Amino acid sequence: AQSVTQLDSQVPVFEEAPVELRCNYSSSVSVYLFWYVQYPNQGLQLLLKYLSGSTLVKGINGFEAEFNKSQTSFHLRKPSVHISDTAEYFCAVSENNAGNMLTFGGGTRLMVKP
Amino acid sequence: KAGVTQTPRYLIKTRGQQVTLSCSPISGHRSVSWYQQTPGQGLQFLFEYFSETQRNKGNFPGRFSGRQFSNSRSEMNVSTLELGDSALYLCASSLATSGSYLDTQYFGPGTRLTVL
């Protein structure tokens, strides 16, 4: 069975600074990888996904992530954050034969300070 | 296009009762998945329905059940509620064209269930 580890439960960062949210996964088969964002009292919104092809994936709101198969990682990055990026971020995996069943990491709370 | 809607948004029940939550997917979407979100366990997959059939099931007790109707709307039911069932229940829908397994899932705002 797959599992997802988000190494940081909270990441404080100043506005306009770069940020990296870390995600590692374990699985015995090929996986698809996702990052979702959750704003307070809302559902999840897809930021980006990796299915195949280029290991650098660009998403919405200026976010990007890089798939590293050898390190089983899928870290999320943004070169310059805004106050509005303050939210909870979830990394998720789906095994390639598991349909829409997503396994989520524990989440990382990004706190952008002015 | 309207997004995924979930009703009710908030619900308070007492232990031992049962509850039914509803999810209306985005128009044209055929797959509906349910997740439970709690501070302790995080986001956990409950089950997925496609064309009125359960396609995947997570590791939850039989008290948790669901169904999908011909118009793709879905309901989940929790019987004999326990305090630990207090959670945000999220529904997600996806196109699932030609029965394909992986389409982007769009999440609703969730139903917050409190069990007293």
pLDDT in tens, B31-53: 999 999 999 899 999 999 998 99
- Nearest to B30, CA basis, from B84, B63, B68: B68
Q: What is the mean pLDDT of residues B52-76?
A: 94
Mean pLDDT of the residues in chain B: 92
What's the pLDDT at A110? 97
Q: How confident is the model at residue B98 (pLDDT cuts 50, 70, 90)?
A: low
Q: Are B23 and B74 in contact (CB under 8 A)?
A: yes
User: A49 at the B interface (CB within 8 A)?
Assistant: yes
Q: What is the mean pLDDT of residues B2-10?
A: 94
Residue B62 CA to residue A90 CA, distance in Å, equals 27
Residue A100 structure tokens:
């829409």
Q: Give bridge partners of residue B45 from the DSSP assignment.
A: B35
Identify from B4, B36, B53, B105 which residue to disrupt to test chain A contact, counting A C-beta atoms within 10 A and taking the largest count: B105
Torsion, Cα A48 A50 A53 A54, to 10 degrees, reads 50
What's the pLDDT at A54? 86
Give pairs for A42-46: CB < 8 Å, separation 24+. Answer: A42/B109, A43/B4, A43/B90, A43/B92, A43/B107, A43/B108, A43/B109, A43/B110, A44/A90, A44/B90, A44/B92, A44/B107, A45/B107, A46/B104, A46/B105, A46/B106
What's the pLDDT at B97? 63
What's the pLDDT at A98? 66
What's the pLDDT at B34? 97
What's the pLDDT at B95? 86
Q: Which residues in chain B have their CB less than 8 angstroms from residue A41's CB?
A: 109
Residue stretches of chain A with pLDDT short of 50:
none
Q: Do A43 and B31 touch (CB under 8 A)?
A: no
Q: Which residues in chain A have their CB less than 8 angstroms from residue B44's CB?
A: 104
DSSP B25: P
User: With 0-12 CB in 10 A as exposed, 13-18 as middle and 19+ as buried, what is A60?
Assistant: exposed
User: With 0-12 CB in 10 A as exposed, 13-18 as middle and 19+ as buried, what is B44?
Assistant: middle
Under 8 Å CB-to-CB from A2, ≥6 apart: which residues?
A25, A26, A27, A28, A31, A93, A95, A103
Q: Give bridge partners of residue A73 from the DSSP assignment.
A: A24, A68
What's the pLDDT at A53? 84
Q: Ramachandran region of residue A84, left (φ > 0), alpha (ψ -120 to 50) or beta?
A: alpha
User: A44 at the B interface (CB within 8 A)?
Assistant: yes
